[in-house]
Structure 1
Amino acid sequence: MRIHRTSRLSARTRGVAALLVMSMAATAVSLSMSGQASAADRPLAPMFDLTPGPATPYAATKTLEALNNKLFAEPAQWAGVWYDHKAGQIVTAVPQNATQRTLTAAGTTGKVVMVSRSFADLKKISDEIIHRPSIASVPVTSTGMDWEHNAVVVGLEHVTDDARAELASEFGDAVTVQEVGRAVQQNGPDRWRDRYPYWGGSGWAPNGDSGTPACSTAFAVRRPDRSKKFLLTAGHCNSPTAEDAATLNTQSTAWNNLIGTSKGYQNSLCGTKSSCEIGSTKYGDLSVIRVSGIEPRIYSGAARATGSIAVTNTQTSHPAVDSWVCVSGATTGSHCGYRVTTNFTSVRYDDGAVMTPVVQTLNTNGSCTSGGDSGGAVYLPISSGGISASGVHSGSNHDPGSCVTWYTSIYYAHKLFDVVTETS
């Protein structure tokens, strides 16, 4: 809310000596000029700290992932978890009404802090803000969790004092702010000519398309009993049609290298402009392509490379904040340096689509995903060899200087489609 301050002469001054009236008027004018509420005078929502820190120790990352499972399972009992690099310990936040069971569980992993808002409270604020097209005429691009400040971090296309003041006026210390360019879903040109058995990281599009609306695939997954095999991709890439999914073949032919069918697997669950949803639970930006054969590998290297890397592990919980991931997509190939800045985010894309929950990352090394990378593989390199599957790429802000991306945790794919990641 903008604050306007005005000064008026009271009617009660009527009939007072002219000198007194003039004196009061002069005083009022002086106050009006000197007391005008400037940008510096108004409370402003603080900026979200995006300063990259050191990598979180591997053991602590695994503990954070396990705590994230508890956090997401009982949002009213938990309020965030992060790694304090200065103190070298895990910090868990719990609300004032946390039960003794929660306090005991939180206390076994490090420091515990009491805060005023639970994760459930923060989600309500996040949901309210992401469905507003703008704040003080500035487009809202994302909302996520700022665990350390017990707040929601609001992404604005550009940051203004008016927008920060309006957020502070309405939400107080429950919000922080960051500048995030307009998000773009990245269906675009082709990359690979994949063949049976199929790998992740390949380019594809619905059969019959002319080659322009291609996306990428992420990881090979299967039902636990091995009865069905799939490739993961983004939900906004795979609008259910009567056509099969296909990858680009050779010469001037269109999409004639059929890899499987997308029919029936997300018709009632997901849409091109909304998150997958069952009941009141949302599952992000996901879809599957049913295929006849898979191998636990993804393509790696440049956009036209033919090399691959083995998928040797998979995350089974929510990614930890400050972990670092890589992306393999059909257009820009494989690149790393993406730091997870918030692990529960809602994003509003340029076409009005809102996807939640997704993971937000930041890359400042000059790399960024582009059109055609949607649906691609997000992964963690493993020092002993191979990679660990982390999620499915959804979109980015297309800014190589400060690249913000969003992806859906593979945890949600496992839950939504009753599948496991194929690993070697």
Structure 2
Amino acid sequence: MKTPKRTLFGSLAVAAVLATALGQQASAAPSPDDAPPKVSMLGAMERDLGLSESQAKARIADEAQASKAEKSLVKSLGADYAGSWYDAKKGTLVVAVTDAAAADAVTAKGAEARTVERSSSELNGYMKDLNAKKSAAPDTVAGWYVDAESNKVVLPTQDVAAAETFAEKAGVPAEAFQAEAAPERPQPLYQGGDAYYIGGARCSIGFAVTGGFVSAGHCGTTGSTTSSPSGTFAGSSFPGNDYAFIRSSASITGTVNNYSGGSVAVRGSSNAAIGSSICRSGSTTGWRCGTIQARNSTVNYAEGSVTGLIRTTACAEPGDSGGSAISGNQAQGVTSGGSGNCSVGGTTYFQPVNEILSAYGLTLKTS
């Protein structure tokens, strides 16, 4: 399926984490004509993030600890929580709070505290304001997302003045947003991961679930049939969301194709912290890695806006869409779309997998 033009976190338990994240179970290979570069997920982290093998392994373990700490702090801090991110240089989770008195709770979890002005709840409220006016967004505005580190909502745009006017009319205070010049023209990226076919078009298996697999919604509409493996789109949502559930009786394991041999085991779907590494597997460019820049991002495709996406620095190209995105051994999402390519770099967005599971009442298969 061709892409239309303007129409888409000291290391702990390293060995234990890698034994699950880098499992070596068999996985079906793509057809010879579609085979991407044979680079493993660990190899892609070394290449794309500039890490040595030992650094990549340590980072996987550190990020797993950051994810656990973040989940606990979001709950305990309540209204004082203002976002968090993984600082790769320090190997530390940084947690923003609006009340300096809450810092002790943060440091007690081994994280670094930072006091800011706006809470996560306030920033998410501005996101809702922008989403409510998305139909009035200029074509030059690629979308918007909360940047926890700057404590603002960021709008990537090719026209800064137009983006500023749009945000102000949507009711976002000038001090709470930043229009950022960026040459982004997001578009859906079709195919990716282990291939499946819809007529003469090709998309990807995202993650195996009980009763079939999940993928990107722009790959097919409800009722569409697939082959290799055979199945039927039991549900699909795009735009607004970008997810689909394909019901299939085919044997699909809870792993992700590693391409260089074997596979990466999926152990769950806990959200990785902002700043954590994320790697995606696709049939065009194989394993490509980057970092998570934001969650709950809105992206404006020509076909319409999609909300609640994971924004990342991982690259992707047409043919990678629908594929699995994973941090360590935890499923994060399926490839939706983005800008740029794997020669010059780019921005890629992922539909969170937990939202898909919730929407269709599905259970993720693990290995």
> Taking structure 2 as the reference length, what is the TM-score of the superposition?
0.70
1:246 corresponds, among 210, 214, 226, to 226
Q: Is the 8 A contact 2:73 2:106 kept in 1?
A: no
- The 3-state SS of whatever aligns with 2:63 is helix
1:231 corresponds, among 182, 191, 213, to 213
1:345 corresponds, among 294, 297, 313, to 297
1:350 to 1:309, Cα distance in 2 relative to 1, 3 A = farther
Unmatched tracts of structure 1, length 5 or more: 1-51, 192-199, 223-228, 248-256, 276-284, 302-306
Structure with more of its chain in helix, by fraction: 2
Deviation at 1:77, TM superposition (A): 4.3
Residue of structure 1 equivalent to 2:322: 375
Whole-angstrom CA distance in 2 between matches of 1:62 and 1:167: 35
Structure number with the bigger relative contact order (C-alpha 8 A, sep ≥ 6) is 2
1:193-272 pair list within 5 angstroms: 201-205=194-198, 209=199, 211-212=200-201, 214-222=202-210, 229-241=211-223, 243=224, 245-247=225-227, 257=228, 259-263=230-234, 266=235, 271-272=237-238
Q: Which amino acid aligns with 1:298?
A: V
1:162 to 1:151, Cα distance in 2 relative to 1, 3 A = same
Instruction: Tell me the C-alpha RMSD between the 2 structures.
Output: 3.5
After superposition, the C-alpha distances for 1:86-123 in whole angstroms (9 at most, x for unaligned) are 65543211234x997x9636643323233222212111
Does residue 1:66 correspond to 2:68, yes or no? yes
- Give the total of aligned pairs: 307
Q: Is the 8 A contact 2:290 2:312 kept in 1?
A: yes
Q: Percent identity?
A: 24
Whole-angstrom CA distance in 2 between matches of 1:165 and 1:274: 23
Q: Is the 8 A contact 1:79 1:93 kept in 2?
A: yes
Deviation at 1:59, TM superposition (A): 4.2
Deviation at 1:215, TM superposition (A): 2.0
1:421 corresponds, among 351, 357, 364, to 364
After superposition, the C-alpha distances for 1:229-272 in whole angstroms (9 at most, x for unaligned) are 2211012323212x4x312xxxxxxxxx5622223xx3xxx522
Deviation at 1:321, TM superposition (A): 2.1
Unmatched tracts of structure 2, length 5 or more: 1-48
Deviation at 1:405, TM superposition (A): 0.5
Whole-angstrom CA distance in 1 between matches of 2:278 and 2:117: 32
Does residue 1:407 correspond to 2:350, yes or no? yes
Residue of structure 2 equivalent to 1:355: 306
Q: Which amino acid aligns with 1:260?
A: G
Whole-angstrom CA distance in 1 between matches of 2:268 and 2:71: 11
> Taking structure 1 as the reference length, what is the TM-score of the superposition?
0.62
After superposition, the C-alpha distances for 1:342-401 in whole angstroms (9 at most, x for unaligned) are 23312121111x2221111114xxx5321x432111134x6xxxx653321111124442
1:3-402 pair list within 5 angstroms: 57-70=59-72, 76-84=79-87, 89-96=92-99, 104=105, 107-130=108-131, 131-133=133-135, 139-156=140-157, 158-160=158-160, 163-164=163-164, 171-178=173-180, 179-187=182-190, 201-205=194-198, 209=199, 211-212=200-201, 214-222=202-210, 229-241=211-223, 243=224, 245-247=225-227, 257=228, 259-263=230-234, 266=235, 271-275=237-241, 285-292=242-249, 293-301=251-259, 309-330=262-283, 332-352=284-304, 354-363=305-314, 368-370=316-318, 372-380=319-327, 388-400=330-342, 401-402=344-345
Deviation at 1:414, TM superposition (A): 3.8
1:83 to 1:421, Cα distance in 2 relative to 1, 3 A = same
Deviation at 1:163, TM superposition (A): 4.0
Q: Which amino acid aligns with 1:239?
A: T
1:236 to 1:59, Cα distance in 2 relative to 1, 3 A = same
